[in-house]
A and B are shown apart, each in its own frame.
Chain A
């Protein structure tokens, strides 16, 4: 098996080199064209506008220096480039090898680019032709965002191709062997501390980049995170992502897969921001440490109960204004100080092998109050990443057989909420969350603030 992988990797490297060459040629050609265009523009400008300005300028600069020479030789003006555009190619340029997965949003398969031999992942967008809104907004956002979000830890959208059917739209991305979720399910033990650190750092660096560019991912989870056989991590699936809108514009609360959903979303907050991605990041950190998702709630109510059990119960002090969130009204939280219920976080107990710095980082990412969570940039600078054990270099990552590349055997896991799903979020009844525990506590005290 290993030889088989070595083969295809060599192939991939070779085809990558060829593709690079080709791109280089294309680029040179384009550059030449642009130079021609610039020359033409210059000629035009010379004809039409230059004489008068030249005269004026030479009057201004009478200190003897020749401004022209200076401009040409020394001043280096920034040139901005963002390519061009052309019509989508046809899907017949690719040969499908095997199907990988069917998600809520489209079909993914592994394919070969017939021209270059490169192995790619094709993601076919499900076009829902009940057609209320034309081209699916999620797909449109995903494409628009991926085109702008070029980062080494974000999946690289190479092109969009179309099929025979006019409704067929397919995203072409480089094939990556694993997703973190499937990989973890197959591992007998969780990642090593050094490996976890490398993964978390790559993930956070991508997230920091996205947030700096005003992009919310809104569906971070291990099944959306790809890992190559060389330990290179890439965030994928931007079907939920969007640009941070101007203040006041409505945002849907129905985002993020339940197990990774931040408490403010569960409580129905109408405005939220990058903090929800940091919460998901915390969940993923914990999942990497445990080898399994940390907060596997059965529904919204159960999820919130699990969150409170792990992270403690919010108080007016730790999360001011939390009671004013729409769904907090039904919440009956037992009086904290006297009861046996812990307001304090259980994270240290739950992760006995994590260092103090690690516990500190995880607790801060899983802070109930979104304002207390660090930004992705702050996470990157946390001492956890500089203390021993050092992050394991990517090249030293173990390799695993790839499910996506060879076989399909997957377990079901919940998906992000769909657009137009139950509007029920408004009326969630969280009153039963503490029902069981109150009996155990026995004191019978309840504090209900509305």
Chain B
């Protein structure tokens, strides 16, 4: 366990951790868990934007959020709401970054997102959401509520740390992706920035993947797959050799990741279809209610 870790590497989830999660042991259906994790990741991303955080910090928060739920000893949706874990992940990650945010800011932002029913699929884009007009009264947090939520934030922060054994470090593929593009001499191409944008978009998409790509694959492979796919989409020709091997990714892994990245879109559409007009349950109570609803409709 104590081999010197590469600064490029992330700790990865074990097969056992991926096979069975704490929520599943507590009889949460797998599809519901996937939906909640997906919504939680989107919520984290939205909160990060509202908090004016660089995408690197947001990405770290999403990965910490995802790490929390995996494995039989991970967090369970019966005990923790996704919104609460998302908030604490953001708080924790920003604290270690160069952009610390106060508990007050975190509580306010999550109250605001809750007031606009995020994450729902009614609003189409995050930009829409941010530009919407709102009545301040909808998301005002009273002093008493703030104190309660702050304590909850601290408590959840501590639980996350213990559940993930303080593994808060996250290596990210973004900078690698740019370096790889430079190594491939892409930037001499007139549409290079289009390619770079697509690749970055795929890396952001991968954060939301129900296959937990950041928990199962190392940053060099993620960056390589994002570039491969982006080059196909923008029809920019990359060297006619197995260049991915230069970036330590073999063809099997590349293929797997490309398919996984492409599948997120369908997954998201399906989520939209299933949850249209309803809210994904982001609290313990909402999960309970959803389970009850499912049981009732089965009867």
Contact = CB atoms under 8 A, between A and B. Distances in A.
B238 to A, nearest CB: 12
A84 B17 contact: yes
B132 interface: no
Contacts of B67: 85
A75 interface: yes
Interface in B218-248: 218, 220, 240, 242, 245, 248
Contacts of B258: 49
Interface string A234-256: 00000000000110010000000
Given A144-B169, A148-B7, A246-B98, A134 B255 contact: no
Contact of B169 (A71, A87, A147): A147
A84 B161 CA distance: 14
Interface string B78-116: 000000000000011001101110010000000000000
B15 A49 contact: no
A137 interface: yes
A87 B165 contact: yes
Interface string B146-190: 000001011001100111111111010000000000000000000
Contacts of A41: 252-253, 256
A150 interface: yes
A interface, how many residues as a size bin? Answer: 35 or more
Interface stretch (A27-35, A309-317, A332-340): A27-35
Nearest to B240: A60
A23 B168 contact: no
A21 interface: no
Interface in A100-127: none
A426 B171 CA distance: 37
B290 interface: no
B34 interface: no
Contacts of A143: 166, 168
Interface in B12-40: 12-18
B147 to A, nearest CB: 11
A150 B218 contact: no
Given A27-B1, A41-B253, A87 B162 contact: yes
A48 B259 contact: yes
Contacts of A79: 248
Contacts of A348: none
Contacts, number: 150
B166 to A, nearest CB: 5
Interface stretch (A6-14, A155-163, A182-190): A155-163
A44 interface: yes
Contacts of B124: none
B73 A87 contact: yes
A450 interface: no
A134 B106 CA distance: 13
Nearest to B241: A60
B288 interface: no
Nearest to B5: A82
Contacts of B240: 60
Nearest to A166: B158
A133 B38 CA distance: 28
A108 to B, nearest CB: 18
B3 A75 contact: no
A5 interface: no
A80 B6 contact: yes
Interface string A136-159: 010011011001101000001011
B79 to A, nearest CB: 13
A152 to B, nearest CB: 10
Contacts of B1: 23, 26-27, 83
Interface in A349-397: none
A45 to B, nearest CB: 4
B150 to A, nearest CB: 8
Interface string A61-89: 00000010001000101111111111110
Given A23-B2, A249-B98, A77 B248 contact: yes
16 contacts: A27-B1, A33-B14, A37-B216, A49-B258, A60-B240, A71-B242, A80-B248, A83-B3, A85-B11, A86-B71, A87-B73, A134-B157, A135-B158, A166-B158, A245-B98, A246-B98
Interface of B: 1-18, 67, 71, 73, 91-92, 95-96, 98-100, 103, 151, 153-154, 157-158, 161-169, 171, 216, 218, 220, 240, 242, 245, 248-253, 255-256, 258-259
Interface of A: 23, 26-27, 30, 33-34, 36-38, 41-42, 44-46, 48-50, 53, 57, 60, 67, 71, 75, 77-88, 131, 133-135, 137, 140-141, 143-144, 147-148, 150, 156, 158-160, 162, 166-167, 169, 213, 245-246, 249
Given A48-B259, A81-B6, 6 more contacts: A48-B256, A50-B255, A77-B250, A82-B5, A147-B166, A246-B98
